[in-house]
Structure formats: C-alpha cells, structure tokens
Amino acid sequence: MCGIVGYIGSRQAQDVLISGLARLEYRGYDSAGVAVADGGQVVVKKKAGKLANLSGELEQQPLPGTLGIGHTRWATHGLPNDTNAHPHTTEDGRLVIIHNGIIENYLSLKAGLIERGHTFQSETDSEVLAHLIEEAYAGDLEAAVRAALAQVRGAYGIVVTHVDHREIVAARTVSPLVMGVGEGEMFLASDVPALLPYTRDMVFLHDGDMVVLHDDGYRITDLQGNPQERPIDRIDWDAEAAEKGGYDSYMLKEIYEQPAALTNTLMGRLHDDTGEVNLDISLDPTAFKRISVIACGTAYYAGLVGEYLIEQLARIPVEVDVASEYRYRNPLVSEHTLAIVVSQSGETIDTLEALREAKKGGAKTLGIINAKGSSMTRELDDTLYIHAGPEIGVASTKAYTSMVGAFVLLALWLGRARGTLTDAQAQELLRATRELPRLVEEALNPARVAEIKRVAEKYAQARDYLFLGRGVNAPTAFEGALKLKEISYIHAEAYAAGEMKHGPIALIDANLPVVVVATESHLLEKTISNVQEVRARSGKVIALLSDGDTENAAHADDVLYVPRAHEMVSPVVNAVALQLLAYFTATYLGKDVDKPRNLAKSVTVE
Ligand code: AGP
C-alpha cells in the first residue's frame, strides 16, 4: 500500500508532492522519491527510509518545475533501499513511472525485456512497467501506456510522465487513485488526504480507468481508449477523517479494506489451472518433519487456524505456542523442525526472542509477516509476506484475515509438495480460496452490518461474554473474544464448544450472551447440540450461521448470517462478523477503538 502524488499546474511541483506524501504517511513508507520536469529534463530524487530523509535533501537542493510525480513505498518486491525506491526510469531517464500494487507476471515480462536488450537498475516488479512503456512508445505516451498495461496481470496504480510531453498519464486496477480538480492545475493521489489542502473537488477513478492530465483539464478513458464519465465529488472531510478514508476510525477502515488486503495476499500465488500455489519462498517443503508455530495475541489465533489447515492438508504435525511461553520452556527443536513465526508488525519482542530460541535449536525458520523489512524478517530464513498494507488500529483485523489467508496458501503448498493433496482436492481448495475477497466483501454488505450493529447494541451492557467454536473455527471464537475484550473492555472468553460441559457451562445464565460459530461444517450437528445446552440453561445464544441455514436459526436468540464458504477457509469469512460485533459494541459504549486503554499496536517490551 504505497503513497502516490502527481501534480501539473503553475505551482512548484516539489512543494505539492512533499506535502501530499506527508499526508499519506499512514500508508507506511520504507522509502520515498520524486521526479520533477523542468524545461526539457526530468530530475529524479529518491531516498530509502522516512520521507524526512528526502525532504531534507530537497530543502538543500530544490527541484524547480511545475510538473511532478512522487511516491512513498510500502515494499512488496525488493528491499527498501535507494535503488528500489520509486520513481523508476528508462535507461535514458526520459520516461518516469511510479507504481502502487503487485505485477503478478513481472518475472516473465522482465525476462523478455532483458532478452530484448533492456537493462534494469532495481529488483522491483514496478520497474518492468517503465521498460514496457518505453518499448511501446512511438511519440504517443498515452498509447504506449495502454499497450504496456495490456501485457500486465496484477494490481496497479501507475503514474507516468515523459520529458517530451507536458502531461501525466495514470491508470488503476485494484490499487486506488483519486484525481483533484483545480483552477488551471490538476492533482493525483492514492488517497484524498494528500489533495485536501489544494482542492475538495475529487474524481475517484474506477478499476480499469486511465486518465491523461494537462494544466487545463483531464480526459478519462478505459484501457481500450473508450471515453469514461466520472462524477466530481465535493469532499467535506477534514484531514484526519480523510486519512481514515471517511470512516470514523482506522479499525473500521481496515475492516472494510479486507477484500483488497486479501486480494493482495493471494495475488500471484494461486494457479487454478494447475492447482498449484506459488509462494516465492526458498524453503524446501520436504526438509522438515514437524512444525512449531509461534506468535502472540491475534497472530497466535491465526496460527491455531494454520495448525488445523496444515495438519489436515499436509499431514505434518504442528504445535502452536504463545511466544512468551515458548521461549522459556526449553522447547524441543532440531534441524527437522520448521519454526513459523507469525506477526503483523514483525517487531513483537516475545515473538522475536522465540524466533532466536528456535534458531539456536537448529530449526529452519519462516515468517508470516506484514511489515516488510521489520526486525523478524532480517533474522528469518524466509518470509511469506501477507501484503495487507499498514495496519494502524491497535485491534488487528485485516492482518488477521490475511494471516489466515497466508496459512491457507502455505497448507496447500505443503500438501501439493508432499503429495497429500490430489489435483482435484487442490483445485477445489484453490477455487474456494480465490473466492475469499468476494465472500468477505459480501460479509460486509450493509444489511448484514446493520444486523450485527443491532445485536451488538442489544447486548452491549453485558458484563461477560462467552464465545464457542469447533474445529477450524475454534480459533475464530478465541479471536472474536479477544476483539471484544480489547476494545469494549467487556470480559469475554472462548472455549472449544465441546469443552463447555467440562466447566464453563456453570457460567451460563440469562445474563450471559454466548456467541457460537455454527457455520457450515462437518461438526455442525455437534455444535448445535452445544447451542441447545446453552439454551436449556437460559443462556442467550448469538449464532453465526451460514446463509440459508434457517433450520438451526430456531435454536438461537439472535442469528448473524455469514456467506457460505468452504469449511477450510471459513475462518476468514466468519472473522468479519465478530470484528464488527466488537466494533459496534465498543463504539456504542463510547470506547476509543483505535487506541484502547493499556494497549499498544506493537508490543516491543517484555
Ligand atoms: C490483536 O488485536 C492485538 N493488537 C494483539 O494481540 C496483537 O495481535 C499481538 O500483540 C501480536 O502483534 P504482532 O502481530 O504485531 O506480532
């Protein structure tokens, strides 16, 4: 999730670019760069690290010019350094591009370009775009961009300029781009906050849109060149609201970002036709006999889902530990162990120390991580990035569903490599996995959200909550309980549903809301029996049921219907309802969902 800004008009472009990039800081950056065009040349300046590294240099040596593009990078391919920073240029420096997204087929495109004599500076997927456009360029920049994008598969928000053209050409698919309309000047950005100081008239580009900006206006077409009409929206948000995309909290924004985050997690890794998964990691899938998954909090619950998936699909023994316990229990580790650490921040000290403990024992190590270049990634043998983009809200939401999505990919990859999955099974699971962004989008439809809000407010005064689930959705119950307790401060605990009669059932009374994850599963009948045990003791049952399951609705006081998903991937879809249940409960109680008391986003102290 990078930050992009473009400008053409009468101001000094550098000022607009730096100010705009600073307002996109929440999108995270590993590096930053600008390109400014001035009378027959385009000058590029880019630096690794925070934006301040770049803006400090530009204060000393400003780049004159009234046309420019700027970028802050959330690295996906290639380490965060000066060379991999955007903008990227052609060998002669005459054409300049910036890109947000993931080019799925960049390796094959790059090989072809190198064969045809192109030389590359960086290890990024983005630089391929510069050379593709150059190859297609014959004087018409817009046509060259169109021809290049016709060869590309993946997600992009791309912005291009050329020394011989006083214009900016941009296009988007999956990655956002918004245009700002000024008087005799035009703006472009990944998100609204960058443009608010200059204009409130915005045009939100749609997937497949392409636009050419000139000083006095713009023209929108689709990728085939057909004109497209898009409305100009008047934005009345203040800057802070704009950074939250108009949502009232980062948490809610990140809940709604989950379809896009999952798309990025899966991008380029699923090949339905062959039933293969491509994880671009160097790990030998047959080089270990057992797996240790180590994490904290929400990441730990993602690991519990991973345990179930890997044991079911790859038949490898898995144990899951909270990092703070693992590191002090003198764990049994050998060169036959694969240690998987799971972490959104990649900085959690308990998990980092547990990783070191596993390495001391000779384990091979793999990370399932969001933050590129974080401390853990520098000590791991390999990292499977979840590409969910920066997660600002303390309560983890999109990182959780993307971590579980990554475990689905890993379990499939291991199963295929170790021959425990037939082609038919793999293709069925790949199709189910490919459906996840759409199912999560469906889980967020307004009618469902309204019902979750109603139920949340109905039980918001409860002192305690109990969450129950079975099988692959037992961790879903644990994660749901954590979400509720950490932002609403209501005591909530979770149990494997079958465990309830061994003690927790004593808690059941008319004041106790019991959330039961009872979606489509081979264990559904058993779970419904647990629901009936709760009802028999006057407990209030809030049941998560799969769409269409009207039969079991009779056993619940309230039903939250969720889109029907393949059992093995259903934890991703089911989590959304529980995130929203927690969110609406906490906001109803007036809590600060982004900064809950006593908590920090990344626990870097023991
Ligand atoms: C989850 O909502 C909490 N913010 C917390 O449990 C978090 O998951 C845990 O601290 C681990 O953080 P990490 O994923 O950055 O390692």
User: Which pLDDT tens digit goes with each residue over 93-119?
Assistant: 999 999 988 898 999 999 999 999 999
Q: Which residues line ligand 1 (CB under 6 A)?
A: 296-299, 343-345, 348, 351, 394-396, 486, 602-603
Every domain of the chain with CATH number 3.40.50.10490 lies at 247-434, 442-599
Rounded CA-CA distance 31/98 in Å is: 13
What's the Cα-to-Cα distance from 343 to each of 96, 231, 321, rounded to whole Å?
A: 35, 41, 13
**Quick one: CATH architecture of 442-599?**
3-Layer(aba) Sandwich (3.40)
**Number of Cα atoms under 13 Å in the Cβ half of residue 42:** 28
Pocket test for ligand 1, best of 251, 254, 298 (most atoms within 8 A of CB): 298
Query: What confidence tens digit (pLDDT) does each residue in 481-523 have?
Result: 999 999 999 999 999 999 998 999 999 999 999 999 999 999 9
Calculate how far, in angstroms, residue 390's C-alpha sits from the geometric centre of ligand 1.
13
pLDDT of 202 above 90? yes
Ligand 1 atom at shortest distance from the alpha carbon of 602:
15
Every domain of the chain with CATH number 3.60.20.10 lies at 3-243
Calculate how far, in angstroms, residue 56's C-alpha sits from the geometric centre of ligand 1.
34
Ligand 1 atom at shortest distance from the alpha carbon of 348:
16
Calculate how far, in angstroms, residue 132's C-alpha sits from the geometric centre of ligand 1.
41
pLDDT of 375 above 70? yes
pTM over the 0.95 mark: no
Calculate how far, in angstroms, residue 601's C-alpha sits from the geometric centre of ligand 1.
7
Calculate how far, in angstroms, residue 475's C-alpha sits from the geometric centre of ligand 1.
15
State the catalytic residues. 2, 601
CA 337 to chain centroid, in Å, comes to 29
Q: Kindly tell me the burial class for residue 403, based on how many C-beta atoms sit within 10 Å of its own C-beta (0-12, 13-18, 19 or more).
A: buried
Ligand 1 atom at shortest distance from the alpha carbon of 397:
2
Q: Which fold has domain 247-434?
A: Rossmann fold (3.40.50)
Q: How far apart are the first and last CA of the chain?
A: 30
Residues in the chain: 606
Q: Please give the pLDDT value at position 50.
A: 83
- The candidate with the shortest Cα–Cα distance to 283, out of 333, 337, 360, is 337
Q: Which of 22-26, 155-159, 191-195, 395-399 has the highest mean pLDDT?
A: 395-399
Backbone angles phi, psi at 3, to 5 degrees: -105, 135
Ligand 1 atom at shortest distance from the alpha carbon of 599:
4
Q: Kindly tell me the burial class for residue 441, based on how many C-beta atoms sit within 10 Å of its own C-beta (0-12, 13-18, 19 or more).
A: middle
Residue 166: partners with Cβ closer than 8 Å, 6 or more residues away: 8, 37, 67, 214, 215
Q: Please give the pLDDT value at position 335.
A: 96
Q: Which two tokens mark 105?
A: 């087929």
Q: How many CB atoms lie within 10 A of CB 550?
A: 10
Query: What confidence tens digit (pLDDT) does each residue in 513-528 have?
Result: 999 999 999 999 999 9
**Quick one: CATH architecture of 3-243?**
4-Layer Sandwich (3.60)
